[in-house]
Each structure stands twice: as C-alpha cells, then as structure tokens.
Structure 1
Amino acid sequence: MAITIKPLHPIFVAEVIGVDLTSPVPEDVFAEIHAAFDRYAVLVFHDQPVTDEQQASFSKLFGPLETAPNFAGKALRLSNEFTDISNLDHEGKILDPEDRLTRYNLGNQLWHTDSSFKAVRAKCSLLSAREVPPVGGETQYADMRAAHDALPDERKRQIEGLVVEHSIAHSRAKSGFDSFNSDIATMLPPVPQRLVDHYPDTGRSSLFLASHASHVIGWPVEKGRALLEELIEFATQDRFVYTHHWAVGDLVIWDNRCTMHRGRPYDLRQRRVLHRTTVSDVVTPYQAAAAQAESPV
C-alpha cells in the first residue's frame, strides 16, 4: 500500500491520502505516517468513518492512551479513553448553554496544549468528526517549532532553561469555570514544564505554551505571565497558524509537544460531535533532565 503526503500549509500540516483507518494499518504504512507526523506535526485524514474501537486501535499505535478525569462532575457520554468534544449531554441531547459542562468546554476556545497540566504530558491527540455544524466550530493549530525558530536570538537566550508551572485550574479560571470536582486538585496538582524543548529525533526546538501555563517558576508571577502572553501572541500570528474546517469523517492527529490549538465558536444550538483520543508521552523532557540530575555519577 502506497500513501501520499500532501502539504496543506507552508511550514507544517499535511494530508495523508491512501490509507483506510477503519482497517488495521500495516506496520510499513504506519512507519510512513509516523515519519510524516514527526515532519509536519499535524496530519489530516479525510473520509475516515471510524468507530470508537477503530479510532482507539489506530491511536494505540502511537503509544498508551490517556484516561480522562471527569473534570466537570457530570455524567459522561463516552468511556474515559475518550474526551467528548461536543455540546451533548450523556443522553445525546444538546446541552443548555448555561450547563456547567458547556462552561467547562469553553476553555477549549483558548490556545492550549492537551494535558500540559499533567506530569506525563500528551504525545499526540486524535480527533474524529462525527457531526459538524454548518457554520463555525473550526479548529486552529499553531506551529511552536516555527515560532521558536522565528524568535530573535536574544529572546531565545533569555527563555532557554526557564520552567513554567501548568495547571488545569488556571486555564479554566480564564474562561470563568471554577466548579471542578473536589478531588481534581489532588489528582492533578500544578506541574513544571520546560518553556523550550529540544527534540533529538527531528533536530528541532519548540516553545511549550498553553492556556494552562500559569507563571514562570522563580520569577515574579506578573512578570512571568507577561512573558507567556507575549510568546503566545507571537506564536499565534497568521503565518504560524492553520485552520481546519471540519467535515464528517475527518480525523486529525497533532503533536501536543510542538503545537497549540484552539476550537472556534459556533452556534451551540447546532450539534457538534467530535471524539478525541490522547496518547501519553513516555516521559517529559523536564522529568528526564531532573532524573539525570538526581542520579549518582
């Protein structure tokens, strides 16, 4: 089976043509897909009417699946291997715009990186479109590698080695949500993440930014937040951004370690149903560096 990789943006994002994700993916084909994933960071597959089981099987080729906590404390529609990117309740009915789950999901409209608030970050996420509204609801992606490359050399030197605290509570507070389950703070305390990561497999460096990023550790909070806001604004210029207009059957995979993304607004009276699986990274670069520093010489 031969696949075709078609670039969709000048600096990242490509479409993968010639593979059927409703069937098992041969090892040699997956090797080509993973090489394209490393190169382009965001891959688009059209006309893939996958079931949840088929989506999970393909996702597991990239690594172990995360399980999603019940952040909003509401009955959920999907199993905890999936994140429900929809405006539906557990019975499949459209949520009231004032429902706490709707308010929680509004945080997805901020630029973010999935699971940056976890000690073991996400390697990648896979989002499958099952129902889409006629207008709006796009997803935008930003290339953090290209953004880092474009920074002035002096700014690169200033931010190298900085560590940032990430927290789900911080990001959701930005969108006005404060109704977490009582055990979320215990399950997911704030975690440190490097602001700049380096990836030997690709030879690229990347900013690691997100709405979950609260402040720079060791800096005055407001000074650190000003830096993070400046970098997010820089990294989300049009030249670094791709907008995906969803069609039913689309599946998009992206590298959470070197991209940010956000959902765009849509009419909440229209059904929008996408199912997300997220693959855990094995270990964060920050954890690996810390472990090396603590190991005996």
Structure 2
Amino acid sequence: MTIIVRPLHPIFVAEVSGVDLRCPVDREIFREIEAALDRYAVLIFRAQPLADEQQIAFSQLFGRLETSIGTIRKDRKHRLGRQEIADVSNLDEDNNVRLLADRWCMMILANQLWHTDSSFKRVPGKVSLLSAHEVPPNGGETEFADLRAAYDSLDEATKARIDNLVAEHSIFHSRSLIGYTDFSDQERATLPAVPQTLVRVHPGSGRKTLYLASHASHIVGWPVDQGRALLDELMSFATQPCFVYQHRWRVGDLVVWDNRCTLHRGRPFNNTEDRRDMRRTTVEDLASTLEQSHLAEKS
C-alpha cells in the first residue's frame, strides 16, 4: 500500500489519498506522509471524519502535542473535553453560535491575521492538524503562504540583512491588533514574550525559510518602529498571491501544515449566524528556534 500525492499549487500544497486516518497508520505509510509534508508543507486529506480521539492519535505520530491555550484559563467553560484540542470554532460551551459581543469570539477573530501557530511560545508549533466538523455555506476558507519560496525570492541584499535577526513574539501583541486584551493574570504569566529567529533552516527540506507571524512584535536590538516596518515589509512580500493557496473546506477535511515554513489565516464568514466547527491539534517543535539555530551552527 502507498499513498497518492497530488500537487494542488505550483510551489507547495498537495492532496493525499489512499489512507484512512481513522485507523492506525503503519510506520511505512507515515514515513510517506512525512516525506510529502517536508516537500509540500501543506497536505489536504479529504473525507476523513475523525473523532477527537482519532485526530489526537494520528497527530501524536508527529510528536508531542501542546496544550491548547484556550484551556489555560480556569474561569472559562470549554466545549471540548481534551486539552490537546484547540476549539477553533464560533460555538460556545453549549454548542450554540457565539454572540458578537462574546469576548472569546473576538479572540478567535485574530485567526484572520497571518500567523504561524504558537510562535509566541518558547518552543513553538511544529505541525498543526485542523479537522472540519461543520463548515459555513460561504466564506471561512483558510489561506496558506509558503515562506520557503518567499525567502528564495528575496534579493541577496535583503537576505544578508535579515539572516541573523531575532524577533520578539507575543500573543498579546497579535491580539492587541484586533483590540482583544481580556487575558487573565494566569495567561499573562504563562505566555511571556519570546525571541524567535527571523530566518531558519527547515529541517525536513534543508531549505532556508522566513519565520513570520502576526505575533512578531519587533526586532530585538532595533528601534521598535524600524523593526515593525521591516516585519510589515516581509509579511507583505511573503503573502503575495504567487505564494498563497486558499483551501475551501468540506466537512471531513483534515488539513496538516508545517508551521516552521508556512503562514496561514482564516477568512471571514457570517460568524453570528453560520456554524463553523473546526478542531486543531498542534505538535510541539523539538526546541526553540534559537536553540535549533545554535545546534545547526555547531554541526
């Protein structure tokens, strides 16, 4: 048995078929999936109506799962029962569509900013897996950008200028961009700002890649305004249409992406009337980007 990989974009993204992820995936098939992810960075699996436990089991093949930040706050009720599952939906704990005035609804709206998962953690996200349980009739797509291709397309002077820079990442910065500040003291203590390299080597492909996100606040050691101008410039460059793929969801889709070399964002939909039930698991990276960079320099 072998999987079938069909490219969906000229530079990245592929659809994978020939495997049922509801069943245990054997080692050889998983190696093929890993190799496809290293090559394409985003994989689309259609018709995979996974239960939460099945999604967790498949996700754990990629490594250790992180705890969803939505479960840190103890004064907020949660719809899903597992701390490994991030509830990326517009549904409340009673499974009803959230009201526009709901503060958590605003928190989720920040997912419409370009980002990479958990770059605001010292050890950021490696791979994310998003499962579609309910999708709106219009809108709600997810867009992905290939940061390896974007880095390759930079001029040599820019590459030399940015190769050794470090950016500070914070979830409080990204949420401030949409006016969300409703964080508990526990959340603020648990999620301090962290430094991440601006350019890294993607382990699976050996290619250099930008490492950007709306969580990136400024460049360490630079005046804040100057650093933010550079980050805005790189973000605009990396999200040009030639580097972007838009995924239109169907119920049962599972999309897997490599956070180390991609950006993604959700697109708007009628979130006060239409239901969108999406459940994400995220695999932790092996170490911080700075630690990985230092190890690469020594090898």
1:232 is aligned to 235
Q: Which string of whole-angstrom CA distances, capped at 9 and with x for unpartnered residues, describes residues 4-35 of structure 1? A: 10000000000001000010011100000000
Equivalences for residues 160-171 of structure 1 within 5 A: 160-171=163-174
User: Contact 1:161–1:195 (CA<8 Å) still a contact in 2?
Assistant: yes
User: Contact 1:84–1:275 (CA<8 Å) still a contact in 2?
Assistant: yes
2:69 is aligned to 69
User: Contact 1:141–1:242 (CA<8 Å) still a contact in 2?
Assistant: yes
1:255 to 253, 258, 269: 258
2:13 is aligned to 13
- Report the secondary structure of 2:69's partner residue: coil
1:186 is aligned to 189
Q: Which whole-Å CA distance do the structure 2 matches of 1:69 and 1:151 have between them?
A: 34
Give the TM-score of the pair, scaled to structure 1: 0.96
Question: For residue 153 of structure 2, what is the amino acid of its counterpart?
Answer: A
- 1:112: Cα distance to partner? 0.4
1:143 lines up with 2:146 in the alignment: yes
Q: Which shows bigger deviation, 9-18 or 67-76?
A: 67-76
User: Contact 2:200–2:293 (CA<8 Å) still a contact in 1?
Assistant: no
Q: Which whole-Å CA distance do the structure 2 matches of 1:95 and 1:54 have between them?
A: 27
1:280 to 284, 291, 296: 284
Q: Which string of whole-angstrom CA distances, capped at 9 and with x for unpartnered residues, describes residues 244-282 of structure 1? A: 000000000000010000000000110000100000011
Q: Which whole-Å CA distance do the structure 1 matches of 2:292 and 2:245 have between them?
A: 31
Cα separation, partners in 2 of 1:292 and 1:59, compared to 1, 3 Å: closer
- 1:203: Cα distance to partner? 2.0
Cα separation, partners in 2 of 1:200 and 1:111, compared to 1, 3 Å: closer
Contiguous gaps of at least 5 residues in structure 1: none
- 1:68: Cα distance to partner? 1.2
Q: Which whole-Å CA distance do the structure 2 matches of 1:290 and 1:156 have between them?
A: 19
1:195 is aligned to 198
2:24 is aligned to 24
- Report the secondary structure of 2:245's partner residue: strand
User: Contact 1:74–1:101 (CA<8 Å) still a contact in 2?
Assistant: no
Equivalences for residues 30-179 of structure 1 within 5 A: 30-70=30-70, 74-78=76-80, 79-179=82-182
Q: Which whole-Å CA distance do the structure 1 matches of 2:69 and 2:2 have between them?
A: 39
Question: For residue 253 of structure 1, what is the amino acid of its counterpart?
Answer: V
- 1:199: Cα distance to partner? 3.0
Number of aligned pairs? 294
1:270 is aligned to 274
- 1:285: Cα distance to partner? 3.1
1:216 lines up with 2:194 in the alignment: no
- 1:201: Cα distance to partner? 4.0
User: Contact 1:196–1:208 (CA<8 Å) still a contact in 2?
Assistant: yes
Q: Which whole-Å CA distance do the structure 1 matches of 2:50 and 2:20 have between them?
A: 9
Q: Which whole-Å CA distance do the structure 1 matches of 2:244 and 2:5 have between them?
A: 19
User: Contact 1:139–1:243 (CA<8 Å) still a contact in 2?
Assistant: yes
Give the TM-score of the pair, scaled to structure 2: 0.95
Q: Which whole-Å CA distance do the structure 2 matches of 1:84 and 1:35 have between them?
A: 28
Q: Which whole-Å CA distance do the structure 1 matches of 2:296 and 2:23 have between them?
A: 41
Q: Which string of whole-angstrom CA distances, capped at 9 and with x for unpartnered residues, describes residues 78-98 of structure 1? A: 121111011000110110011
Q: Which string of whole-angstrom CA distances, capped at 9 and with x for unpartnered residues, describes residues 104-133 of structure 1? A: 111000000000000001101000000000
Cα separation, partners in 2 of 1:221 and 1:24, compared to 1, 3 Å: same
Q: Which whole-Å CA distance do the structure 1 matches of 2:210 and 2:244 have between them?
A: 14
